[in-house]
Amino acid sequence: MSIPFSGQQLNEIQAEFSQSWQELLHKAEQGQLELPKDRRFSAQAWASHPAYLLMAHAYLLSGQAMQKMVDTADVPDDTRERLRFSVMQWLDAVAPSNFLATNPDAQHTLLQTKGLSLAQGIQNLFTDLQKGHLSQTDESHFSVGENLAITEGQVVFENPLFQLIQYTPLTAQVYRTPLLVVPPCINKFYILDLQPENSFVRHAVEQGFTVFMVSWRNPQLTDTDGILQATWADYLQSGVLQAIKVVQDISGLAKINALGFCVGGTLLASALALAKARGEDPVNSLTLLTTLLNFEDTGVLDVFIDEGHVNARERQLGQGGLLFARELATTFSFLRPNELVWNYVVNNYLKGQSPPAFDLLYWNADGTNLPGPFFAWYLRNTYLENNLVVPGKVVVDGTPVDLGALDMPAYVYGSREDHIVPWKAAYASMPVLQGPRQFVMGASGHIAGVVNPPAKNKRCYWVGPDVAGKNVDSARNWFDAAQEHPGSWWLHWSNWLAGHSGTRRKVVKRLGNTRFAPIEAAPGRYVKAKAV
């Protein structure tokens, strides 16, 4: 495919490149080249080898020129984004830091260890090939139910789609209105319950909330109970709405509070809109964490979506089968390849190092499979056609769904550096929702921004007035009016939720009830199933 460029713009880029290249050569001849401001080339070994140092600078300069060419290409914006993504992938892959022959730091390690680093690197590579994925952490350090997902509780309901966990209270009194948490079905729920010191679930329980958690099943190719044919409608009705009914029954309340995270938030909002259309109003307040309702601008993920790709997925998976966890994990890792791929290639294989133990990265590698029909529907109706925000466009078992019918108080959270759900895309949920709304933005990314316990006193968050109205483009107005606060947004959210949770009452020690008796201890069987 030929890409149209302006001759004048190309000449300008070439002239700028030539001038910068001559300046690099002059500095190299004078011995004045400094280490680049790029952590791939930050080790002192690069400065100790002038030829390698010049090569690193030349690589970075060439990359800048290529990106400028993409920026000036006379192509539609969606094509430009695909070009930008493809060039970024290629440039990151061919970086001289990724190869032993062109990485003086890895060579220095090889000499220092008398070859042991290379031997260990090869062993690390073979181990990863057996596991089927690149190791980002010491996975031997963690076990779900032993040092991850250990907040005490009981599974009080299960069906072929999910288990429902009720957590044991940690306070003498609890708020009357319970909280149901709906995590994404593309990941395991324990991202919200890693270890006691960074567990969102434990924090909520410690604040006096009665917390229920949906634990989605991890389907396998060997399953014969119909889950491989599960649809979007199944996840709404037999998943989210069923969980709500169980929590209502156990609590004895007609209205509960509900929180959805990422795809879990999209499922939750859709299920509540379906309930509204059926004359039901089961939720007192709604919390959405890094959630997309309006898929008009989904950031870098847009590069994967077009009619041809979605049509192919529908033919492949629309009638049954699985989208495997390893494919999802690979896709998300290559959204940030330097941090989540090549960094580990260099350290694990070229230098023979073992990655440190990190609970968040263990969770990241512990993926889930998705039923094909669910995934195919989701891909077309959200990322491709953005149907959820069109009133009545989505029909579930004959019932048109309108997210604009949601009028309960809503707390909407986005992370400022989120590359999966850009904060402005999270903010785009605000005009969709019609009740009292609060938008909060946290620092950091999709996961680290959410998992930010107050005790560590890290990062910050922004709170501003509701200026959305029906204007999807009002995110910048919100940010201009927002105030920055140090620390974690968790306490701000807890105070907000307390205002929608009623009075406190004495704790009932028994979990579940006569209809929904405890089945097994948390975290349950479903979350322990490994994707294969």
Q: Identify whether the C-beta of residue 216 lies closer than 8 Å to the C-beta of residue 161.
A: yes
Q: Are residues 288 and 422 in the same domain?
A: yes
Q: Hunting for tokens 């907040």 — which residue is that?
A: 151
Domain count for the chain: 2
Q: Is residue 505 part of a domain?
A: yes
| 384 shares a domain with 272 | yes
Burial class (CB in 10 A: 0-12, 13-18, 19+), 275: buried
Please give the Cα distance from 141 to 365 (Å, whole number).
13
Q: Is 462 helix (H, G, I), strand (E, B) or coil?
A: strand
Domain that holds residue 390: 153-324+369-528
Whether residue 47 sits in one domain with residue 175: no
Structure tokens at 426: 């999270």
Counting other chains too, the contacts that 474-477 makes at CB distance below 8 Å and 24 or more residues apart are 474/427, 474/430, 474/431, 475/423, 475/424, 475/427, 475/428
**Angle at CA of residue 452, ends 450 and 454, nearest 5°:** 140
Q: Is 128 a member of any domain?
A: no
Provide the pLDDT for residue 10. Answer: 86
Is 19 within the bounds of a domain?
A: yes
* pLDDT the model gives residue 116: 97
Do 494 and 392 reside in the same domain of the chain?
A: yes
Query: Any catalytic annotation for residue 460?
Result: no
Largest CA distance in the chain: 82
CA 39/CA 60 separation, integer angstroms: 12
CA distance 11 to 22: 16
Q: What are the beta bridge partners of residue 410?
A: 286, 437
- 118 is a domain residue: no
Q: What tokens does 319 get?
A: 């009638």
pLDDT number for residue 302: 85
Residues 409 and 314 placed together within one structural domain of the fold? yes
Q: Are 303 and 399 within one domain? A: yes
pLDDT in tens, the chain (532 residues): 556 666 788 889 999 999 999 999 999 999 899 999 999 999 999 999 999 999 999 999 999 999 999 988 888 888 888 899 999 999 999 999 999 999 999 999 999 999 999 999 999 999 999 988 899 999 999 999 999 999 999 999 999 999 999 999 999 999 999 999 999 999 999 999 999 999 999 999 999 999 999 999 999 999 999 999 999 999 999 999 999 999 999 999 999 999 999 999 999 999 999 999 999 999 999 999 999 999 998 888 888 889 999 999 999 999 999 999 999 888 888 888 999 999 999 999 999 999 999 999 999 999 999 999 999 999 999 999 999 999 999 999 999 999 999 999 999 999 999 999 999 999 999 999 999 999 999 999 999 999 999 998 889 999 999 887 655 568 999 999 999 999 999 999 999 999 999 999 999 889 999 999 999 999 999 999 999 7
Say yes or no: 237 and 170 in one domain.
yes
pLDDT score for 473: 65
Measured between alpha carbons, how far is 343 from 52 in angstroms, rounded to an integer?
Answer: 19
The secondary structure of residue 173, as a DSSP letter, is E
Given strand 153-158, what is the order of strands in its sheet?
483-486, 460-463, 437-442, 410-415, 283-289, 256-261, 179-182, 211-216, 162-167, 153-158, 520-521
Q: Say what the pTM is.
A: 0.93
d(CA 334, CA 341): 7
Same domain membership, residue 510 and residue 443 = yes
pLDDT of residue 301: 84
Is 18 a domain residue? Answer: yes
Give the end of a domain, one of 112, 145, 172: 112
CATH of the domain at 446: 3.40.50.1820
What's the pLDDT at 121?
97
User: Is 122 domain-assigned?
Assistant: no
From 262, 323, 376, 447, the catalytic residue: 262
pLDDT at position 244, please? 98
Please name every residue paired with 450 in a beta bridge, in sequence order, or none if there are none: none
- Is the same domain home to 435 and 487? yes
- Residues 6 or more apart whose CB falls under 8 angstroms from that of 43 comprise 104, 105, 108
Q: Among 60, 82, 112, which residue terminates a domain?
A: 112
Residue 123 domain-assigned (yes or no)? no
Outline where DSSP puts E strands in 217-282: 256-261
> Is residue 333 a part of any domain in this protein?
no
Last residue of a domain, one of 80, 112, 144: 112
Environment class of residue 523 by beta-carbon count within 10 Å: exposed (0-12), middle (13-18) or buried (19+)? buried
Q: Give Cβ neighbours of residue 156 (< 8 Å, ≥ 6 apart).
A: 164, 165, 166, 212, 246, 250, 511, 512, 516, 517, 518, 519
**Residue 392 shares a structural domain with residue 496:** yes
Do 83 and 201 lie in one domain? The reply is no
List the beta strands (DSSP E) in 151-210. Answer: 153-158, 162-167, 173-175, 179-182
301/427 same-domain check: yes
Which helix (H) or strand (E) segment is 286 a member of? Answer: strand 283-289
